Structure 1
Amino acid sequence: MSWEAVARKDFRDAVRSRWLWVLSALSILVFAGAAVGRLYVGGGNQQEAAALLRGFLFYLKQGTAIIIPLTALVVTYAAITRERESGTIKLLLSLPHSRDDVVLGKFLGRSAVVTLPVLIGFVVALLALLPAASGLDIFVYVQFALLTALLGVVFVGIGVGVSAAANTNQQALVGAGGLFAVFWFLWNFFVTGVNRAATDLFGLSTPDQFRLRLALKILNPIQAYKTLVDSLFMSDLEARIRMFSMLFGMIPNQQAAQALGPELSPAFGDAVVLAAMLLWLVLPLAVGIVWFREAEL
């Protein structure tokens, strides 16, 4: 298929530019840290070592939640606009590639560039972890690595979608950087504003306010990723309550626990949170494809 050829070329170009090697080294350092902590800090007590691993991964997600999206956007924001500005996009389209093929191929190629280093880092760390790890340790670690790789793919979709819709590198950079700022720094202000407006209009009760805020928080792909990681160590309900905690989850929110009740609604379960993440993969990519079809090159 034509998009496969675009993806292969894009991946080879990334290898030649050494992006893959830099990201692989970074991922090995990040993931191997968990293995080092598990083997050398946890001591000989397997229960204490397992608890240490879980605690390390629990807070490691704060780092991966920044590094992975930012890396994915840096790798992808100019995926198409750079070729438009240089004129090579016309050469690419003169081959048997449609515009849709170009966008999908770029998405697949850049997804490999972002996710392969994550998986390499995970495998290296797993090899160090394996001699002393329990089966549960390994299972949790695999899930953490897969969720982290998925986060990377989601932001590759966002970055490629922005690049397909933008006319210049500068527009793509502003768009990608703006989205990162919204997700990381402005989203909670958005949640608070919508909740306040809805409460003023409809007189929402306290439980309804927390349910609305939770639904809006889940729509943020970074917050969705973090609460799914939390679900590896605790119940779905505890993971959702932790989304309202302060200081990276160190200060719990008792009011949220009371408002959400003893049982979590299926509307806020892990499957729904995962679907919200996947929505951010599909929607920007689809918008970018449609926009790029009509673009003047």
Structure 2
Amino acid sequence: MSVPTVARKDFEDAVRSQMLWSMTGLLVGLIVLIYGAVRYFEGSAPADELAAILALPMQVIVPLAALIVGYMAIVGERRSGSIKILLSLPPTREDVVAGKLLGRAGVVATAVLAAFAVALVLGLVLFGEVAVGELFGLAVATLLLGFAFVGIAVGFSAAVASRGRAMAGVVGTYLVFLGFWDVFVGGIYRFATGAFPPGIIPMDGRIEPWALALQRLNPMEAYGVVASGLMDQQVFPLTLQFPIGVNVVGNEPLEDVVIGEVPFYLSEWFSAVVLLAWFVVPVALGYLRFRNADLG
């Protein structure tokens, strides 16, 4: 029972430290601002389009908030020395890492669900209708995105011994996902095939399916795929686009984009698996470092 105990204590600490309330207030305030602006300037909007509007700001706020929530989860305990007291009790190092992951994920989940509950109410109050299916689909995709970045942050927090290194790790990772991932994949494509990936606006060629799979390993890209599938409308990932990158976006069927048959790993459900992998794998790697770390 040590993991649930650590998770519950961590969640309660987040409540006492205002971490939960700050993130919830930020997301709720964002939704109130967006819905209020649409009501004021437009008067009304189709319910499904109103839900889709939330996808972009959620991609901006939720990953950053999740990284802030998670990056001090373990390294903060090491800096204060409380990790020694915690490990002198029944929890093992594995319990601490798993409990911290679940506790911080609980903070993100509570804030995201509260924000979408407010969106549901505001949609009814201000516009008289709500696209429940689209709003629910976006909420699920946003939860998966938040969990992915919590996993990344807690993984760094477990792997390093200082706040500065943890912060550098999460900030650097976020910047890679935001601005350099497609360039990285484009470079691999150039090395493997002798040419840069074709663009599709307009489509000027087909792309190797493995390159598109590499692109979707970026959690921002995976979020776009999952949210688009669950909402039944296009959600564009928040990434910078470069001419040499893999810029496969839009509504083209994959059969018209990739070379050969569409493999299973380009399915929408596999992108959900990618997001869950980002929740688990970085933490597992961080634990391997933390397991034998000298805690002083």
Query: Which aligned pairs between 1:208-223 and structure 2 lie closer than 5 A?
Result: 208-209=207-208, 211-223=209-221
* Percent identical: 37
Q: How does 1:91-240 map to 2 (within 5 A)?
A: 91-130=85-124, 132-133=128-129, 137-200=131-194, 206-209=205-208, 211-234=209-232
Determine helix, strand or coil for the equivalent of 1:207. coil
Q: Identify the residue that residue 83 of structure 2 maps to in structure 1.
A: 89
Change (3 A) 1:244 1:157: closer
| TM-score, normalised via structure 2 length | 0.83
TM-score where L is the length of structure 1: 0.82
Displacement of 1:127 in angstroms is 1.7
Q: What amino acid maps onto 1:15 in structure 2? A: V
**8 Å Cα contact 1:161/1:287 also seen in 2:** yes
Counterpart of 1:4 in structure 2 is: 4
Cα pair 2:67 2:149 within 8 Å, conserved: yes
Distance 1:20 1:219 in 2: 29
Contact 2:56 2:238 in 1 (8 A): no
Q: Unmatched 5+ residue regions in structure 1?
A: none
- Higher relative helix content: 1
Over 3 Å counting, the alpha-carbon distance change for 1:38 and 1:146 in structure 2 is farther
CA distance, structure 2, for counterparts of residue 72 and residue 111 of structure 1: 8
Number of aligned residues: 282
For residues 56 and 260 of structure 1, do their structure 2 counterparts lie closer, same or farther at Cα, with a shift above 3 Å needed? Answer: farther
Runs of 4+ in 1 over 4 A off after TM superposition: 33-44, 238-246, 251-258, 261-265
Distance in 2 (CA, whole Å) between partners of 1:153 and 1:62 is: 17
The answer to whether the 8 Å contact 2:219/2:274 transfers is yes
Shift of 1:184: 0.8
Where does residue 275 of structure 2 map in the other structure?
277
**Rounded Cα–Cα distance in structure 2 between residues aligned with 1:81 and 1:244:** 31
**Contact 1:14-1:113 within 8 A present in 2 as well:** yes
Counterpart-to-counterpart distance in 2, 1:83 and 1:243: 33
